Chains A and B, each alone.
Chain A
Amino acid sequence: MLSKVKTCCLTGLIVTAIDVETDISNGLPNINVVGLPDMAIKESKDRVRAAIKNSGLNFPLKRITINLSPAHTKKEGSHFDLPIALGILGASMQIPLEGLEDTLILGELSLDGKVNKVNGVLPMLLEMCNRGIKKVIVPYENLEEAKIVDGMEIVPVHTLNDIALHLMDEKRLDTYMEPFEYNYEEETNLENFRDLRGQENLKRALEIAASGNHNVLTIGPPGSGKTMAARRLPSILPKLTFHEALEITKIYSVAGLLDAHEGLVRNRPFRSPHHTSSTVAITGGGRIPKPGEVSLSHYGVLFLDELPEFNKTSLEVLRQPLEDRVINISRINGSYTYPADFILLAAMNPCPCGYYGTEGGQQCNCTPYQINRYINKISGPLMDRIDIIVETTAVKYKDLTDDKGSESSEEIRKRVERAREIQLERYKKTKYLFNSQLDGAAINKYCTLNPIAQQLMNLAFNKMNLSARGYSRVLKVARTIADLEGKDIIYENHLAEALQYRNLSGIIS
């Protein structure tokens, strides 16, 4: 007998529909999986045999051939267990397969017949739904994730036995098909700027960065609040739109990092890989490439603490995603593209010991050569992609006599959201979204200075040793500051403020 059920597989974020064809014929008992399966699929025959047997069903002692069609694409993943099991049960006439022609089946089996959670459900369902598949059988643990997809009938299963009984019409399972309602519930325990005393300058810089999607470098001695402030950056970024949440969830689904109770990712990602992270951990990779840190921080923040301690190549690979907002990973199996649109927030000390420029207390004992070598680990091209540089110092608590308290993240976020709307409106018909993405001619077009600001710019060029690169960075930041105030052109105070967010004290030349 022959049976045929539907499943699909993921390569990167690209979905391919797969037919699982099962043929049972007379011959020596044997089971064969063909159609370029990877190791996990080849092993599935042992899991399937045990799961069928332990579910009280009958594993046919015949010659079984399973073909994964189309046969020319390589397939990977453990979610083929359930379709293969159902295919065998169907072909051996133990369950009826009518009505399964248009049902997508995903699931991994335990030896006892339990259906386990699988990765990448959301991107697979979204794509297959577009292709006209309206019914899906998924592991129960993937239910929340699957619910996000509108217009699909979802059958969540706990065990192989459940689904067999369901198909035999003996004991129907609950099915779900409600339209998904996106309501943004903010996580209440997000760290808030309200709790951060002092560091007003750093807060302001982060507000500008959030508004214009600018990359930021903070330089300061240990204990000056760099990391504290960084962790609070997501709390002032605009709330996630449904589209953004979906994009992020897809990546987390593929990476297998999705929380079973959550379904949708509701907070902007904040990723802070340790400085010993390998290049592949940053970019994504492996034989079958998985998303790396740059993709996991999509629409969020990638925080690199102790920037110069990172491996040089790990830093240089950031150049492409910072430019194109996607990352291309090529491996022997093909080329994979993951989105990677993030704000880079880096933090570093001014010198290897950390105390260069600190007044009193700890003293710096680094040689000029050591400091140079430390600073030079960050290449010029990478620095070119960082618009805002802020320096911090450790401020003693008792020096902060001001009791009026700090502004909360919610208030700052309101301003950020307004500035972002202005930008989205202005760049509606262009390839840009935010000020930080402007280049070449677009800078001159959109960053108009008023006459006094123009004079100030000329002065700054001469007096502050502004380079040509520094010039365009300052203009972009000034544009964002003007947007925060809702002004069409850049006034002198906007430009003057932007000039402070360059490196002025010469730590980095």
Chain B
Amino acid sequence: MMLKQRDIVIWLNHIEGIIHKDIEHLANYFYNIEEVWHADEKHIINALTDRSIISGRIIENRNERFVEKIFGSLDDNNILPLTIFDSAYPSKLKNIYDPPYVIYVKGNKIDFDIPLISIVGTRRATPYGKWAAHQFAKELAKWGVGIISGLALGIDTCGHKGALDGNGYTIGVLGCGLGQYYPASNRALTDEIFKKGCVISEYCLDTPPLKYHFPARNRIVSGLSDGVIIIEAPEKSGALITAGFALDQGKDVYALPGNINNIQSKGANKLIRDGARILLEVDDIIENLKYRYPMDKMNEKQSIKDDLSDLEIRVFNVIKRNPINIDLIINETGIKASELNPILTILEIKGYINQMPGKIFTAVE
């Protein structure tokens, strides 16, 4: 059996307990990583000092049955492995400090060459953060920008959903193998992304979501993208780890300003203080992407509000000033609840306003 370089790294990646560093040591020790397959046992042991368990497992698993099983199960699950030796391997990822040797990709649409922006943030998102993640993702999707995120709860989920709602492209990066849905409650969303985008992971099929996988996963999120948006992050947060990677990798970092009293916005606000780009509108991002990609907005929104009645415009103007609760709209405009509710429905259906928990309405940009 002739194993190519790419087959070797996929095989190595499936050795139980192996980490990125181990493969890196092997690649540095041998002139060509293909040699691992036939090399003398002592060389492998030498290459992996202090990792005798792993080297033992490599030696043990140097059989063709194991390799066939790996490729069989990848085929069965419709998973495409991309190794660093493949031309299809995303070039943006290749340029980072420690690119994964293999990434596993699953989905109907695989494209790493369009402009990609990652949207990250805390799982304990506030309604404001969720709204912002959804809104920016949707707006960026309209410009043909793909959204990358980590498929976690909170901000990540809203980012993905926003991209899908804007009929855009989105990539989810998992901290576990592609053989499972994680978190389980995002099953429907993950399936949707399989259809309209793709999900990737550097871990082989059945790897469980271990704690230390997630910071490592974040280097891929930032590595694949042209810029990273931090929507909401408390002072200690995975999103800030992503921002750190993005800085190391030379990507743009955008942070959404938040209420200074809100603990979930502290991290993002501090990033702004430390020099991240402040994110106020989607154009802030588009302007920067324009130097690298041809940018065209897909469907221009009609600008004139011809389709609103006077009363509707009055209500809309009140909402536009500030997100506002329904009872305060009644108080301010003097319109009765029975008349105001229909107006709010119309504005909502026509896409001018959004509803937030607590019957608070916000204007859509």
Contact = CB atoms under 8 A, between A and B. Distances in A.
Real binding pair: yes
B346 interface: yes
A497 B341 contact: yes
Interface centre among B126, B154, B345 (most CB of A within 10 A): B345
Contacts of A132: none
Contact of B327 (A364, A366, A395, A484): A395
A200 B337 contact: yes
Q: In which size bucket is the chain A interface?
A: 35 or more
A309 B82 CA distance: 50
B196 interface: no
Interface string B175-193: 0000000000100000000
A177 interface: no
Interface residues of B, number: 39
A201 interface: yes
A350 B357 contact: yes
B341 A357 contact: no
Contacts of A220: 358
Given A204-B341, A464-B348, A504-B348, A399 B328 contact: yes
Nearest to B153: A368
Contact of B341 (A201, A372, A460): A201
B331 A400 contact: yes
Given A357-B127, A360-B261, A496-B342, A391 B328 contact: no
A393 B360 contact: yes
B349 interface: yes
B155 to A, nearest CB: 11
A297 to B, nearest CB: 26
Interface in B261-283: 261-263
Contacts of B297: none
B359 A393 contact: yes
Given A357-B360, A391-B357, A497-B345, A368 B330 contact: no
Given A350-B357, A357-B356, A402-B334, A363 B348 contact: no
Nearest to B340: A201
Interface in A463-498: 463-464, 481, 484, 492-494, 496-497
A463 B356 CA distance: 16
A369 B341 CA distance: 32
Interface string B313-337: 0000000000101111011001011
B331 A198 contact: yes
Contacts of A501: 341
A396 B344 CA distance: 22
30 contacts: A198-B331, A200-B336, A200-B337, A201-B330, A201-B337, A201-B340, A204-B338, A221-B358, A357-B357, A357-B358, A357-B360, A359-B358, A363-B126, A369-B153, A391-B358, A392-B359, A393-B327, A393-B359, A395-B328, A401-B331, A456-B345, A460-B349, A463-B349, A481-B338, A493-B339, A496-B341, A497-B345, A504-B348, A505-B358, A507-B357
Interface of A: 198-201, 203-204, 219-221, 350, 356-360, 363-369, 372, 390-393, 395, 399-402, 456, 459-460, 463-464, 481, 484, 492-494, 496-497, 499-501, 504-507
List 7 tightest A-B contacts by C-beta distance, closest first: A357-B357, A496-B342, A204-B337, A496-B345, A393-B358, A497-B341, A500-B341
